[in-house]
Amino acid sequence: MQNSLLLSLPSRIDRVQFRGRSFYVKRDDLIHPCLSGNKYRKLYTLLQTSSDIYDTVISYGGVQSNAMLAIACLCRLKGWTFHYYTKTLPGYLENRREGNLEQALEQGMQLHEVEYAAFQQKIEELKTFQQKRTLLISQGGADEIAKAGIEELAKEINAWRKDEKIENLNVVLPSGTGTTALYLQGALEKEIRLYTSVLVGDDTYQLQQWQRLSKGPYPKILPRDKKRKFAKPYSEYLQMHQELEKQTGITFDLIYAPKTWIELLDYFDEDAPILYIHTGGVSGNETMRQRYRHKESRRG
């Protein structure tokens, strides 16, 4: 995996056809082989930070987190030690490390497993930990430190809209923690409307996460197609993912993108100008495909 700081910025915007409709896709997935998508935007400030400011970074979250991998790459570039806390690994990962976890470990990440029942308590302990030259990054990069990089994304979108002379642009992106959507909403011009699909928790939970970081304004949440569990394999998602790749020639992630595209297709009129932000995450597709294959094998 490449570790140079050669970045493709501003990220390009492709015009694609899908189901007979025209869409724009902002290719943040192409910014960098490791630091791409909204994770690059969230870590932008740290990329500009002198390497001698910190020597250790701590974070926590899911075992196949895209943010985990991006932070591992950042720390490798900066020469910082990276400690990552996650719940006890499932048996199949104990015997065979794969996906984002394998790649993050290759970048030098130090993994710490915590029993499920003790995990939340451990996170609270980490939040109170204070040591010079040590930085704690919240799960998914949900920190105010993410604001500057996302404002750079907004500048790119604002400038592009003016160049294209699009009067009323609709920007759509998926949300995990919702951090990117929140800070983007605050930096886009008034002629641009921002919509997001919420994948973790319900709308009330998402609003609480936004209120923790900002007093607003808040993005508009797309109406849900139906209630689903996060990161579970659903046949409709796989079908949407395959259809998107076939018709647009773009590989999207298998967790966030399918649900968002299902909802935006239902919500918007056919002639509405839509810019979809490709927030990366494709590094996790292989492990997600394995879950789909496992689901199919159980049916068989």
| pLDDT tens digits along 13-55 | 999 999 999 999 999 999 998 898 999 999 999 999 999 999 9
- The percentage of the chain sitting over the pLDDT mark of 90, rounded to a whole number, equals 80
The mean pLDDT of 259-272, rounded to a whole number, is 96
Backbone angles phi, psi at 163, to 5 degrees: -60, -40
pLDDT number for residue 45: 95
DSSP state of 282: G
CB atoms within 10 A of CB 83: 17
CA dihedral over 137, 140, 142, 148, signed as positive or negative: positive
What confidence tier does 157 reach under pLDDT thresholds 50, 70, 90?
very high
Q: Return the H-helix or E-strand segment holding 56.
A: strand 56-60
Round the average pLDDT of the chain to a whole number and report it: 93
Half-sphere exposure of 245 (CA within 13 A, CB side): 14
- The percentage of the chain sitting over the pLDDT mark of 70, rounded to a whole number, equals 98
Residue 95 has pLDDT above 90, yes or no: no
Q: Residue 131 has which token pair?
A: 């040591």
Measured CA to CA, the distance from residue 122 to residue 44 in angstroms comes to 27
Show Cβ contacts of residue 226 under 8 Å, excluding neighbours closer than 6 positions.
none
What are the percentages of helix, strand and coil residues in the chain, rounded to 5?
Answer: 45, 15, 35
Measured CA to CA, the distance from residue 189 to residue 158 in angstroms comes to 6
What confidence tier does 79 reach under pLDDT thresholds 50, 70, 90?
very high
What confidence tier does 3 reach under pLDDT thresholds 50, 70, 90?
low
Site of tokens 């970074």: 57
Measured CA to CA, the distance from residue 159 to residue 175 in angstroms comes to 23
Least confident of 14-23, 128-137, 246-255: 128-137
What confidence tier does 1 reach under pLDDT thresholds 50, 70, 90?
very low
Site of tokens 């649900």: 259
Least confident of 13-22, 273-282, 291-300: 291-300
Q: Which of 237, 232, 281 is nearest to 259 (CA)?
A: 237
All structural domains of the chain, each given as residue ranges with its CATH number in brackets, are 13-34+145-299 (3.40.50.1100), 40-143 (3.40.50.1100)
Contact predicate 44/149, CB 8 Å: yes
What confidence tier does 298 reach under pLDDT thresholds 50, 70, 90?
confident
Q: Return the H-helix or E-strand segment holding 76.
A: helix 66-78
CA of 215: how far to CAs of 211, 262, 269, in Å?
A: 6, 29, 31
Show Cβ contacts of residue 73 under 8 Å, excluding neighbours closer than 6 positions.
1, 3, 34, 35, 107
Contact predicate 25/274, CB 8 Å: no
Residue 300 has pLDDT above 70, yes or no: no
The three-point CA angle 133-118-207 to 5° equals: 75
The mean pLDDT of 167-188, rounded to a whole number, is 96
Site of tokens 């109170």: 128
As beta bridge partners, residue 274 has: 170
Residue 166 has pLDDT above 90, yes or no: yes
Contact predicate 76/57, CB 8 Å: no
